[in-house]
């Protein structure tokens, strides 16, 4: 089986390829532009994206929306994570948290999948903390400042290990369980 991953982020494609290969699912990277609605919930963004892409004729595909939710900021940047990453980046987040001691956060990934004409939406959540400085060279986005175990950032983990514990990895596991019911 081949699923199309609709994204402009090659890091996501690499993670999907690594997570789904062992289940016999191949990945094809496609870049199909579509407008994303602005809303406060990842699930709403993904559901709307599924509808738009299906209306354009696309079938058998995956989209996702992910976000970093920082406790002390009431969940910000959340659905605005990509924008915040582009504007202030990890350095800006760390500066905002200079004097913050409660550094709890979670990464969330909501995956939408259209397969065999049916839709699946799942969300994976990885709880952790924001580190005091960037660490590691792997991954992308907030990976250098997020730690699931308080010891290593996501950017310090080998991809196979990150896929076991990350928000996207957890969402993929949920997706596979739901796919088994359909395929």
Which region holds residue 110: left if phi is over 0, alpha if psi is between -120 and 50, else beta?
beta
CB-CB neighbours of 13 under 10 Å? 18
- For residues 64 and 114, the answer to whether their CB atoms sit within 8 Å is no
CA distance 94 to 115: 40
Which region holds residue 153: left if phi is over 0, alpha if psi is between -120 and 50, else beta?
beta
- For residues 46 and 63, the answer to whether their CB atoms sit within 8 Å is yes
CB-CB neighbours of 10 under 10 Å? 11
Say whether 64 is catalytic: no
Catalytic residue among 44, 48, 60, 65: 65
Is the torsion defined by CA of 54, 21, 155, 9 positive or negative?
negative
Q: Give the residue numbers marked as catalytic.
A: 65
């Amino acid at each position: 089986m081949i699923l199309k991953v609709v994204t402009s982020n090659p890091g996501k494609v690499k993670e999907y390829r690594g997570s789904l290969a062992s289940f016999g699912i191949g990945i094809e990277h496609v870049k199909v532009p579509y407008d994303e609605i602005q809303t406060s919930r990842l699930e709403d963004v993904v559901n709307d994206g599924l509808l738009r892409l299906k209306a354009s004729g696309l079938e058998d595909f995956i989209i996702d929306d992910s976000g970093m939710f920082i406790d002390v900021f009431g969940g910000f940047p959340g659905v605005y994570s990509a924008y915040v990453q582009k504007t202030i980046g990890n350095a800006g987040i760390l500066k905002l948290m200079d004097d913050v001691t409660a550094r709890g956060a979670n990464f969330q990934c909501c995956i939408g999948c259209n397969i065999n004409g049916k839709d699946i939406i799942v969300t994976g959540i990885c709880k952790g903390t924001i580190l005091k400085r960037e660490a590691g060279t792997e991954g992308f986005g907030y990976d250098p400042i997020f730690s699931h175990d308080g010891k290593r950032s996501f950017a310090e983990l080998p991809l196979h290990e990150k896929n076991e514990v990350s928000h996207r990895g957890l969402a993929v596991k949920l997706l596979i369980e739901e796919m088994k019911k359909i395929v």
